[in-house]
Structure 1
Amino acid sequence: MRIRTSRRPWRAASAATIAALAVLATGCGSGDNAAGDKASSGGGSGDKPFIALSNGFIGNGWRQTMIAKFEAAATQAQKDGLISKYKVVNAPGENSATEQVAQIKSLLLQKPDALLIDPSSPTALKPVIQQACDAGVKVVVFDSAIDAPCAHVLQNSFVDWATYAAKPLLEGIGGKGNVIVSRGVVGSQPEAEMFDTTKKILGGYPDVKTAATVTGMCDGATAQKAVLGVLSSVPKVDGVIGCGDGYGVAQAFATAGKPVPAVTFETNGRALNYWKDNKIDNGSVAVMSDPGQSVAALWEALDLLDGKDVPKQLTFPIVLVEQKDRDAWAAALKPDEYAAWPWTRDLFRQQVEAVKTGGEPVQPPIPTAAG
């Protein structure tokens, strides 16, 4: 089944998305700190660019996958002579903008040619980003909107995320029954946009009743507690629409001794294998933003340094895993590894052209082995 939010769902992010407080997108949640910096060793030509990446925090599997994918691509780019070196710096705090600003200032003293940023705040980094731009550094912000006009932005669409979390699931339950809606970070603009999208979609299914609405924070453990708290007071549940918290939701139903309904799973190996091993065949899907954005941001930085015309705002595809592709993804992912599109430089450029022309989005291949 192929669900479209519009004729060309990836063409561009909405104005509201670009201006949003990107709490949801900045790493798909928060987690315990596991800070660490990594720089590549020597090698490569001195006239090739030095690429730096500043990451607001590293404390969850999505962020760890994002960094791992970048490091693998950057290491290969160094071997291929495309860059001289790279450095990754992960802020040690809980997504602290103050710490990330200090981190970026330290990186700028090392004179990178391009700076990639997964930001902790859509506003607080504006002065230091402007400082980088004024120094001639190409800045690419990914995984979030940012209030910094000189930066290029590459992200996924919140509207598309919410749409693909709801429509395949609702179709899978036959367009009728009772659902619970598990909201994300309530109070953030992205969550408001996603929840508004969910309500609009539900409005097109008159035979579906919203039995309860909880706040799951796009986090399995939080959603498990929230859903478990309402199960005794709701009738039979056919589905739970979330934003990548289905593993925890499934645990809530199992704890309550109830059958697992259709849910919106995380896109990591643990959740996908749980879905597969328990033979859940009820309309469940898995959908989240793409940690491979970091690799796409690397290619964008190199093209900008080469003087190529790249739009200031790019919207790339989210990762949607339907049942037909579930086993292929599950076999390719480690338990805490999240599904990521394998953006090659050629695929990146194809997607840029699709954005420019309004063409169909690029569909990268599903990886065949864990990286």
Structure 2
Amino acid sequence: MKRSLSITASLVGAASLILLAGCTTDPSVENSAEEAPAETSESTDSTEWFDQELFDKQDEERGVTPEGPEDEPYLQMINAEMKDTSDFASDGAKKVCFANASISNPWRQTGWITMNEQLKVLQESGAISEMETRDAKDSDDTQIADIDYFIAEGNCDGFIISPNSTAAMTPAVERACETGKPVVVFDRGVETDCAVTFIHPIGGFAWGIDTAEFLIDNLEEGDKVIALRILPGVDVLEQRWAGAEKLFEEAGIEAVDYFSGGDPAEIKKIISDELAKGDVQGVWMDAGDGAVAAIEAFEDAGKEYPVMTGEDELSFLRKWKDTGLTALAPVYSNFQWRTPLLALEKIFDGEEVPAEWVLPQSPITDADLDEFLELNEGMPDGHYAKFGGENLPGYPKVWQDRQIP
């Protein structure tokens, strides 16, 4: 029986448009949000995305102390069930083939830079000879063709796949597994457990719980929250909102959600329209780099700043610091881009790896805001604070220069 690695995947067809599982729509970069006009109307009910079992699992995982090196979060794991990989053990440097959904936004670009710096380390150690990469540019059809190209080429010792969407990519992932070579899936899931390991942070419900609890703790019953969402139909994003919405309802918080497409102009319009109706005490976001536009809408209207959740993208962190907001930066751990290559290194050595490699996902709070701003001083606004590449050879210059391989 197949084990679904992503809940409600049959509804994820819209994800072929998406630039993230992670997380951003920085207007300074060309991205696929331009391919689909932003919806700015109030959204429909999201209860179809709520899964109590997964909600409870991720809620519990938030409190688990990860196993692994304290200073290497990309090697940590939560509640791991280990898988034997001895059948894949062999000597010599290996060629890796990477089918990537895209590098069309700053979250993915930050991870892509980090991944390539990790690759250099593994090439120098003799674990990996090269990584051939094909970029699907946010297209299901292109990524399916990319995976089939790698299979037909027949020169891959192992596969890494960051799926563009869940259901559409499942058959192609299964075909890669049928080659007998190890397959590592990360970031977004698919509807098969044929991969040796599936790598991801805790998940969307954990994000929703972290953010909703923060807002509830800092607001009063009856207060109004505007929820700004990117696009519908992506499991991780839908679960973020489904989890938060449940908690808002239970706490008596009035929460109204809109799809913005991540467009700063649309975000400002949504906030301005709501402020014209009355006071807004909170802002919730399922991705954070549009957060600065939301803050600016309050400034433009001459209103008090809201209690707010954004993300660990530096433009938000810097605006948070400058304004003195009551805020939280949830995280969809960008350092996960290192883990697939390190997992393949272990697999090629015949070492055990988790069947589902759950990485830590800890928000940035007011208590550690200054620490992360200092750690990332000199980085561009589109950089992600918890990128986890400080011990890689190109640090900090390649991230500062935004050298996209």
- TM-score band, normalised by shorter chain: 0.7 to 0.9
Q: Secondary structure at the match of 2:99?
A: strand
Q: Distance in 2 between matches of 1:221 and 1:142?
A: 32
Q: Distance in 2 between matches of 1:244 and 1:232?
A: 24
Evaluate the alpha carbon distance shift between residue 332 and residue 184 of structure 1 in structure 2; reply closer, same or farther with a 3 A threshold.
Answer: same
RMSD: 3.3
The answer to whether 1:64 aligns with 2:55 is: no
Q: Which stretch shows the higher mean deviation, 170-179 or 57-66?
A: 170-179
The residue aligned with 2:314 is 269
Deviation of 1:222 (Å) = 4.4
**TM-score of the pair, normalised by structure 2:** 0.70
Contact kept? 1:331, 1:368, Cα under 8 Å: no
The residue aligned with 1:26 is 21
Deviation of 1:114 (Å) = 1.7
Evaluate the alpha carbon distance shift between residue 257 and residue 291 of structure 1 in structure 2; reply closer, same or farther with a 3 A threshold.
Answer: same
Contact kept? 2:6, 2:235, Cα under 8 Å: no
Q: Distance in 1 between matches of 2:318 and 2:211?
A: 19
Q: Which has the higher contact order (CA 8 A, sep 6+)?
A: 2
Contact kept? 1:116, 1:141, Cα under 8 Å: yes
Equivalent residues in 2 for 1:231-246, closer than 5 Å: 231-233=275-277, 235-245=278-288, 246=291
The answer to whether 1:337 aligns with 2:383 is: yes
Letter in 2 for 1:158: G
The answer to whether 1:228 aligns with 2:272 is: yes
Q: Distance in 1 between matches of 2:204 and 2:273?
A: 27
Q: Distance in 2 between matches of 1:273 and 1:344?
A: 20
Q: Distance in 2 between matches of 1:277 and 1:268?
A: 15
The residue aligned with 2:135 is 90
Contact kept? 1:272, 1:326, Cα under 8 Å: yes
Count residues in correspondence.
Answer: 321
The residue aligned with 2:73 is none
Deviation of 1:110 (Å) = 5.8
Q: Secondary structure at the match of 1:115?
A: strand
Q: Distance in 2 between matches of 1:312 and 1:342?
A: 22
Of residues 5, 10, 16, the one that matches 2:7 is 16
Deviation of 1:145 (Å) = 1.3
Contact kept? 1:319, 1:339, Cα under 8 Å: no
Q: Distance in 1 between matches of 2:396 and 2:234?
A: 36
Deviation of 1:18 (Å) = 8.1
Q: Secondary structure at the match of 1:288?
A: coil
Q: Distance in 2 between matches of 1:221 and 1:86?
A: 39
Contact kept? 1:184, 1:218, Cα under 8 Å: yes
Deviation of 1:302 (Å) = 2.1
Evaluate the alpha carbon distance shift between residue 18 and residue 309 of structure 1 in structure 2; reply closer, same or farther with a 3 A threshold.
Answer: farther
Q: Distance in 2 between matches of 1:294 and 1:18?
A: 23
The residue aligned with 1:125 is 169
The residue aligned with 1:170 is 216
Letter in 2 for 1:66: G
Q: Distance in 2 between matches of 1:174 and 1:295?
A: 41
The residue aligned with 2:183 is 139
Evaluate the alpha carbon distance shift between residue 19 and residue 317 of structure 1 in structure 2; reply closer, same or farther with a 3 A threshold.
Answer: farther
Contact kept? 2:167, 2:190, Cα under 8 Å: yes
Q: Secondary structure at the match of 1:244?
A: coil
Of residues 184, 187, 207, the one that matches 1:161 is 207
Q: Which stretch shows the higher mean deviation, 157-166 or 328-337?
A: 328-337
Percent identical residues: 23
Contact kept? 2:6, 2:189, Cα under 8 Å: no
Evaluate the alpha carbon distance shift between residue 308 and residue 86 of structure 1 in structure 2; reply closer, same or farther with a 3 A threshold.
Answer: same
The answer to whether 1:299 aligns with 2:299 is: no
Q: Secondary structure at the match of 1:321?
A: coil
Deviation of 1:14 (Å) = 8.6
Q: Secondary structure at the match of 2:330?
A: strand
Q: Where does the alignment leave 5 or more consecutive residues of structure 1 unmatched? A: 1-12, 35-45, 346-366
Letter in 2 for 1:215: F
Deviation of 1:134 (Å) = 1.8
The residue aligned with 1:10 is none
The answer to whether 1:200 aligns with 2:246 is: yes
Q: Which stretch shows the higher mean deviation, 128-137 or 263-272?
A: 128-137
**TM-score of the pair, normalised by structure 1:** 0.75
